[in-house]
Structure 1
Amino acid sequence: MIATKSMPKQSMYDTVIKQFNKTAEIIDLNPNIKKILEITNNEIVVHFPVKMDNGKVEIFTGYRVQHNNALGPYKGGLRYHPTVDVDAAKALAMWMTWKTSLAGLPYGGAKGGIQIDPRNYSDAELERITRRFTYALGENIGPEHDIPAPDVNTNAQTMAWIADTYMSTISTSERSQNQHVVTGKPVGSGGLEGRDRATGFGVYLTTKELVKSRGESLKDKTFIVQGFGNVGYWASKFLIEDGAKMIAVQDAHATLFNEEGISVEKLFEHSSPRKGSIQGFTEANEMDPAEFFGLECDILIPAALGNQITGDNAYTIKATIVAEGANGPTNEEGEAILLEKGITVIPDILCNSGGVIGSYFEWLQNRNGELWELDEVMQKLEKKLLQVFKKVEKEVEERNTDWRTAAYILAISRIETAYNQRGIFP
């Protein structure tokens, strides 16, 4: 739900390009490398027919945008949402390039999906849509080329369908070596223990570390969450376990408020895993969605879609920390207002990077034929996230700049170094 007075004037693609140009100027980025990074490598659009439960055929449009692979195979999610188009996928793919670079992973960035509202389709229809989309993408994805993952309205089941379809198109002898064509799979199908909570854990841990750097703790801190999907749920769960209190939550159907605190487990039980909603939850009161961002709280977690915090509503925000669980939830105008108000923004490419780090672990596990236990995964994830957080924190202090600028400087500088060392073919 977009809690603004009017629709955003700036697209996510406009936002990511402005962020990139700002960073390029700060670091005096090589102009030839700048030309490469400001465009995508490939933009794939596929149209494909699927037979519905009623026997009729519908034509769907799917997208996969591959931004850059200087550091390794393309990596990024697939989302099923009405807002999916080429421009949105381009923006999200660029953010994935910066995110994987910042995390120190051997990946580039990609993104894509299908322009649908999955709530309008049965499970059987969604399976056929997913399998047909995978077939249409063909060799544009692959375990050493482009590795999709779950995103908005997709999940472990979606990834299992993609993996099965992809492996059915290759020779029998190669199937065991191609399980890592996607990450975020069910544990029983080669998935990683803890991958479900990795993104939310990253949101929690980076928030905790920022609070700790101020000589404080999460105990009795209040927070509000926009979006109660996988990221919103796990981030809230970890925060509450560490003493914080969720006082409001918003999704596309309702905005709930309870000053005494909302039980994340009861709310999760109330909403179904895929097509559910927080609407109708009796232990909180519904409120005007336009007033959500303006609630008195310590921490705001936008964990839904992009372009939610804009010039139209940023001035109402009273939180001291904005932890970006979603990709691109704050546009340039909105962020300028937040920074002027003294609000710290933990940028998406740092804050929600636990997901892609978890995906990397799953990819390695499949590639090496290993099985990692949950404790081992969470220890590795925490260690990696803390390393990245400390690097960005150091950059913030040394340059006396905001967290997004610091993160972008580190991410883009790493890619520039790779190009400088390798040269540009031919």
Structure 2
Amino acid sequence: MKGEKQAAFYQSVLNSFDKAAALTDLPKGLLSHIRECNAVYQMRFPVKINNQIQVIEAYRVQHSQHRTPTKGGIRFSSHVNQDEVMALATLMTFKCALVDVPFGGAKGGVKISPRKYTPEQLEKITRRYTTELIRKNFIGASLDVPAPDYGTGAREMAWILDTYNTFKIGDIDGLACVTGKPVSQGGIRGRTEATGRGVFYGLRELLLQKDEMEAIGLTPGISGKRMVVQGLGNVGSYAATISQNEGGAVIVGVSEIEGTIYNKDGMDIDKVLRYRKEHGTMIGFPGSTKLEDRNGWLSIDCDVLVPAALESQIRIDNAHLVKAKIIAEAANGPVTDEAEAILLEKGVIILPDMFLNAGGVTVSYFEWLKNLSHMRFGRMEKRYNQNTYESLVNLVEKTTGKVIGKRERQVIARGADEVDLVRSGLEETMINSFYQIRELKNRRKKVNDYRSAAFVTALNKISSDYLSMGVFP
């Protein structure tokens, strides 16, 4: 059943591509080439676990090499299969193009359930997988750059880096072979929160569009909007906390593997996360009600629904239950193409995954650049800027005869740290990309939804790369 959903996920991605391709005037041969995955590496490797040999199934897919290196996360999940990885790699190509990150799309997957292995066993599997990638030239700063995804994090990326450097002694750009690393090992500040923060920036811009909000009965702005979040992993937790703490959104519902909780007046998501960490579950959180149906998150009355877990969560059989006015796809492929048709008919606005969760790859790009330059962002200019701002504050005090308070002085005269620059670059990227998509949607009469507009925008960029670079003789 799960395999069927993943095959449907890949087909759903292709269906969305075909829908968008029909709205362009691009050559059919070029579109056919862009549509398909360039390389699929399917592997089986043995690992000794508890004195027994286990054969691990794993994949690395490079969808497009119109830009190199290719880029995409590595997923550890018992549900990994080739169709799923191909779908995710395909989305990565369009995601990178949308946010003007110069990578081709790729994705990796290892078919294991991380919860069933000790850290030592996971390290052994990760290093063995990396070795397989090295053998086939499927990893390298100029070839293919992995990153974290579902079931992986900074720890696994550190193991990948160490394994790569063991084989590639003397590679001066070895740090750039993988992103999402710990800061102490060449990572970048702000990477952990990047995808969730990108969700916030993209959603905030949509909610600022007065005409579109009026059409669905909402006032402009994210403040006060009732939000339901499905999935409290890295993406969902940061999307929720940032939307609440920086945007003023009200979290009325949260769903996780243990069930769904609800409070029509809202819940402090920071307290929900702390409660779950302390108790191992969020069920029983003070003031909340547990819904009888674990999938009840779908039908909660809210303004914004944020599916931030796995693909194919909103399907043709449950799309009619959705009461949200906006669906913000924080996960990859949470809404199938069949479900999307139903939701669009109902007037629901869907912010597509290929745009909304591009914050991760955007900040990964910043990390890659940092590794290639061999310098921390802000190191050269932070003190210069701080001294310049301090001089300006002193000049204002001297000219006006008024004294600026210590706290205000610190805010005004402070130079930007690495995390400030990363957040600024991410915000700029998400805002620019949103308005590119929206401008095309408003300009092209046949493009009446954000997913089609995002695909067409990305297709135009990718095809321009192919044609201008002389890829086709």
Q: TM-score, normalised by structure 1?
A: 0.94
Aligned to 1:18: 15
CA distance in 2, matches of 1:247, 1:28: 44
CA distance in 2, matches of 1:10, 1:60: 21
Q: Which consecutive unaligned segments of at least 5 residues does structure 1 have?
A: none
Pick aligned residue for 1:34 from 31, 34, 50: 31
Q: Does 1:301 align with 2:298?
A: no
Aligned to 2:109: 113
Larger mean Cα displacement after TM superposition, 232-241 or 278-287: 278-287
Q: Which amino acid aligns with 2:364?
A: S
1:267/1:278 contact within 8 Å kept: yes
Q: Does 1:417 align with 2:421?
A: no
Shift of 1:258: 2.1
Summarize the Cα distance change of 1:27–1:259 in structure 2 as closer, same or farther, 3 Å threshold: same
SS at match of 1:196: coil
Could you give the per-residue CA deviations for residues 77-106 of structure 1, whole angstroms, max 9, x where no partner exists? 111112211111111100000000111111
Could you give the per-residue CA deviations for residues 95-141 of structure 1, whole angstroms, max 9, x where no partner exists? 00000011111100001111111111111111111111111121211
CA distance in 2, matches of 1:254, 1:122: 26
| Structure of larger gyration radius | 2
Q: Which amino acid aligns with 1:364?
A: L
Pick aligned residue for 1:254 from 254, 259, 273: 259
SS at match of 1:140: coil
CA distance in 1, matches of 2:130, 2:5: 32
CA distance in 2, matches of 1:85, 1:366: 32
Shift of 1:423: 2.9
Q: Which amino acid aligns with 1:384?
A: T
1:75/1:110 contact within 8 Å kept: yes
CA distance in 2, matches of 1:179, 1:267: 36
Q: What does residue range 212-291 of structure 1 map to in structure 2 within 5 Å?
A: 212-214=208-210, 216-241=220-245, 242-272=247-277, 278-279=282-283, 281-282=285-286, 284-287=288-291, 288-291=293-296
CA distance in 2, matches of 1:56, 1:263: 46
Shift of 1:405: 0.7
Q: Does 1:340 align with 2:345?
A: yes
Pick aligned residue for 1:129 from 109, 112, 125: 125
Aligned to 1:388: 433
Q: Does 1:160 align with 2:155?
A: no
Shift of 1:39: 1.5
* Percent identity of paired positions between Structure 1 and Structure 2: 39
CA distance in 1, matches of 2:450, 2:374: 38
Could you give the per-residue CA deviations for residues 228-263 of structure 1, whole angstroms, max 9, x where no partner exists? 000001100111112111111112232222223222
Q: TM-score, normalised by structure 2?
A: 0.85
Aligned to 2:422: 377
Aligned to 2:83: 87
CA distance in 2, matches of 1:127, 1:279: 32
Summarize the Cα distance change of 1:47–1:278 in structure 2 as closer, same or farther, 3 Å threshold: farther
Aligned to 2:94: 98
Q: Which consecutive unaligned segments of at least 5 residues does structure 2 have?
A: 211-218, 378-417
Larger mean Cα displacement after TM superposition, 180-189 or 215-224: 215-224
Shift of 1:10: 6.5
